[in-house]
Copies of this chain bind each other. A is one copy, B any other.
């Protein structure tokens, strides 16, 4: 790793501006962020303590039939506070850790001593549950202590500890709680002591990537090189011996699925069929892929490893250019919650797991830290305002695990191939990875707005905020985004430092935007999605006006399921039609060739949303007495003038049950 070392140094020396603090002032995001504090965190805490009176939805994969979470109870059992058996998935602990991470972020913008006390006590409990050598996975500690690290294909042990490490890094950064950090260090040391190519160590890796990005975060905080080396090892070793998992099971001699049904998944499900540098496309479980990609991007940046950088970009391009829904959702099949093949994007049998979109935000953020490419910001924005946000209800207590682009309660009930598509948000899930994942994202959205490269500040997300950088540089970003496209920046630079300020021009606005510096129009070249303004004065006012016209989007015609259809988008927001606002069946509507569309902000609907009305025509529904099949000449289509009323995709499923569609028929 001598080459890598040099690159690390090179990359670090050119960084001289640091982002210190961002205070979100966006009305849109602050509503969600207060919801996190007031509703989401208390609600999730009560669920994990089995104190909430809720109905846990069948897990989308039909695994696990827990009646309650039991996540805190599992830790208490290990810590000898109570007696009992483990309940839930082998990775049940991660619900707690992701919640703790969300708490950490929330304390930064909403200090809360009561909550901090709960979290501190939770850390005490976790410390008691941790073994002397640093190991912590309640499932194995309770149910199979003799099988620790012996069934890595399904065990999720490193995945689980990785989530704790992430939480601890965040909690320490916000609160300075050393105990939390020490638990994480002990975990990482435990893993380091057990994994590697050295004699006596396990020459393997976890079936579910996560530890790679967690160790990178721990390295960034502690500068402990062995953590980065360990992350690097996991990435390099993955898939080198395709028989590693099976050999482990053979050696253990106990061939029993930890998670029902997983036995049948191919190695590509785990991204472990071949070394990752040889993997050409994003295959298998979508969340695993994006967690892996995030880890690769972290390590590529921190080590400067060009092979890993190439891998990140290849995965990025494959996902974003060939396997992503227009809402940012990924995962085209419920079988293994997985990717399928290029351009296969069915809307009504898809998966689009909330966690996968959340994972894409991590990946995009890392890529932005590697290079100032606007596309990373475009996709990050798409995920923040659509595919991730759709996972949580407006009341903060109901969730989607699967995010379809077309839903029909009758189909979900009546066709088993669509039974994974809930049309009513669930209180909680047997596999409850998504609720806490979206919570930690929203609570940390302040970390997704700016990226600093050396002496360049990139503003890639339009979320009102007040940000402070080194050298007393501050930026006040004001807007009413995503409803309004006027973005203003007030830059204060009392030390008259010289730096570049890059503003992302979103792909949806690149044909039409206006930029003013100190109230004067400027015309700057867009370079890889950004315009750059050189700052050296003590104050600067920048005004950007983005194109908020309503756009009809079509898919590449290699996507069979979207042919002859359009999605409606305004700014970053992708819209959908719900049965609540339009008569079912939605497939009888058609947007006319030269259709007009009107935008209207409605303060009283769904906590305040911009709605869109599109000129359309609609067919009368054929009668049940009509023949099932008839010649076109006997019964031609008979169109009537109509309108389609659309709401933002993220806000669907917050009212009564009914049909929903993102892709709408269009005369073509």
> Which residues of A are at the interface with B, using a C-beta cutoff of 8 A?
320-322, 324, 326, 332-336, 338, 340-342, 344, 346, 349, 408, 410-411, 413-417, 551-560, 563-564, 566-567, 585, 587-588, 619, 621-622, 624, 626-633, 635, 637, 665-666, 668
Residues of B within 8 A of A635 (CB): 554
Residues of B within 8 A of A336 (CB): 416
What are 20 A-B contacts defined by CB distance under 8 Å?
Answer: A332-B415, A333-B416, A341-B413, A341-B414, A341-B415, A344-B410, A344-B411, A346-B415, A349-B417, A551-B631, A552-B631, A556-B622, A556-B626, A557-B588, A557-B621, A557-B622, A557-B637, A558-B622, A564-B564, A566-B632
Besides A320-B628, A563-B665, 6 other CB < 8 A contacts? A349-B349, A551-B631, A554-B630, A554-B637, A563-B587, A567-B629
Q: Are A340 and B553 in contact (CB under 8 A)?
A: no
Q: Are A587 and B566 in contact (CB under 8 A)?
A: no
Q: Which residue of B lies closest to A666 (CB)?
A: B632
Give the CA-CA distance A335 to B334 in the complex, in Å. Answer: 14
Q: How far is the CB of A486 from chain B (nearest CB, A)?
A: 21
Q: Which residue of B lies closest to A411 (CB)?
A: B344
Give the CA-CA distance A408 to B343 in the complex, in Å. Answer: 13
Q: Are B417 and A333 in contact (CB under 8 A)?
A: yes
Contact of A668 among B324, B326, B637 (CB under 8 A): B637
Residues of B within 8 A of A555 (CB): 628-629
Q: How far is the CB of A523 from chain B (nearest CB, A)?
A: 22
Residues of B within 8 A of A321 (CB): 627-628
Q: Are B628 and A341 in contact (CB under 8 A)?
A: no
Contact of A564 among B333, B335, B552, B665 (CB under 8 A): B665
Give the CA-CA distance A349 to B416 in the complex, in Å. Answer: 11
Residues of B within 8 A of A631 (CB): 551-554
Q: Are B630 and A335 in contact (CB under 8 A)?
A: no
CB within 8 Å for A557 and B627 given contacts A416-B336, A417-B334, A563-B588: no
Q: Are A340 and B629 in contact (CB under 8 A)?
A: no
Q: Are A414 and B344 in contact (CB under 8 A)?
A: yes
Most B CB within 10 A of own CB, among A322, A416, A417, A552:
A417
Give the CA-CA distance A563 to B590 in the complex, in Å. Answer: 11
Q: Are A632 and B553 in contact (CB under 8 A)?
A: yes
Residues of B within 8 A of A342 (CB): 624
CB within 8 Å for A629 and B417 given contacts A563-B665, A564-B665: no
Q: How far is the CB of A437 from chain B (nearest CB, A)?
A: 24
Q: Are B417 and A417 in contact (CB under 8 A)?
A: yes
Residues of B within 8 A of A628 (CB): 320-322, 324, 555-556, 559
Give the CA-CA distance A332 to B630 in the complex, in Å. Answer: 20
Q: Which residue of B lies closest to A508 (CB)?
A: B631
Most B CB within 10 A of own CB, among A349, A665, A668:
A668
Q: Which residue of B lies closest to A552 (CB)?
A: B632
Residues of B within 8 A of A621 (CB): 557-558
Q: Which residue of B lies closest to A414 (CB)?
A: B341
Give the CA-CA distance A567 to B631 in the complex, in Å. Answer: 9
Q: Are A340 and B414 in contact (CB under 8 A)?
A: yes
Most B CB within 10 A of own CB, among A417, A560, A566, A629:
A629
Give the CA-CA distance A215 to B559 in the complex, in Å. Answer: 52
Q: Are A415 and B340 in contact (CB under 8 A)?
A: yes
Give the CA-CA distance A587 to B631 in the complex, in Å. Answer: 21
Q: How far is the CB of A649 from chain B (nearest CB, A)?
A: 14
Residues of B within 8 A of A417 (CB): 333-335, 346, 349, 417
Contact of A333 among B332, B338, B415, B563 (CB under 8 A): B415
Give the CA-CA distance A323 to B185 in the complex, in Å. Answer: 61
Residues of B within 8 A of A413 (CB): 341
Q: How far is the CB of A624 from chain B (nearest CB, A)?
A: 8
Give the CA-CA distance A426 to B468 in the complex, in Å. Answer: 67
Q: Which residue of B lies closest to A620 (CB)?
A: B557
Residues of B within 8 A of A344 (CB): 410-411, 414-415
Give the CA-CA distance A554 to B624 in the complex, in Å. Answer: 15
CB within 8 Å for A585 and B567 given contacts A554-B629, A628-B321: no
Most B CB within 10 A of own CB, among A411, A556, A566, A627:
A556
Residues of B within 8 A of A567 (CB): 629
CB-based closest 4 A-B pairs: A341-B414, A335-B416, A552-B632, A340-B415
Residues of B within 8 A of A408 (CB): 560
Q: Which residue of B lies closest to A332 (CB)?
A: B415
Q: Which residue of B lies closest to A639 (CB)?
A: B668
Residues of B within 8 A of A630 (CB): 553-554, 556
Q: Are B560 and A585 in contact (CB under 8 A)?
A: yes
Q: How far is the CB of A424 from chain B (nearest CB, A)?
A: 18
Q: Which residue of B lies closest to A324 (CB)?
A: B628
Give the CA-CA distance A626 to B559 in the complex, in Å. Answer: 12
Residues of B within 8 A of A333 (CB): 415-417
Give the CA-CA distance A666 to B556 in the complex, in Å. Answer: 19
Give the CA-CA distance A587 to B552 in the complex, in Å. Answer: 21
CB within 8 Å for A627 and B556 given contacts A410-B341, A415-B333: yes
Q: How far is the CB of A261 from chain B (nearest CB, A)?
A: 11
Give the CA-CA distance A333 to B413 in the complex, in Å. Answer: 13
Q: Which residue of B lies closest to A557 (CB)?
A: B622
Q: Which residue of B lies closest to A586 (CB)?
A: B560
Q: Which residue of B lies closest to A323 (CB)?
A: B628
Give the CA-CA distance A554 to B626 in the complex, in Å. Answer: 12
Q: How far is the CB of A657 from chain B (nearest CB, A)?
A: 16
Q: How far is the CB of A383 from chain B (nearest CB, A)?
A: 14
Q: How far is the CB of A566 from chain B (nearest CB, A)?
A: 6
Give the CA-CA distance A414 to B282 in the complex, in Å. Answer: 13
Give the CA-CA distance A560 to B410 in the complex, in Å. Answer: 12
Q: How far is the CB of A37 from chain B (nearest CB, A)?
A: 35
Residues of B within 8 A of A416 (CB): 333, 335-336, 338, 340
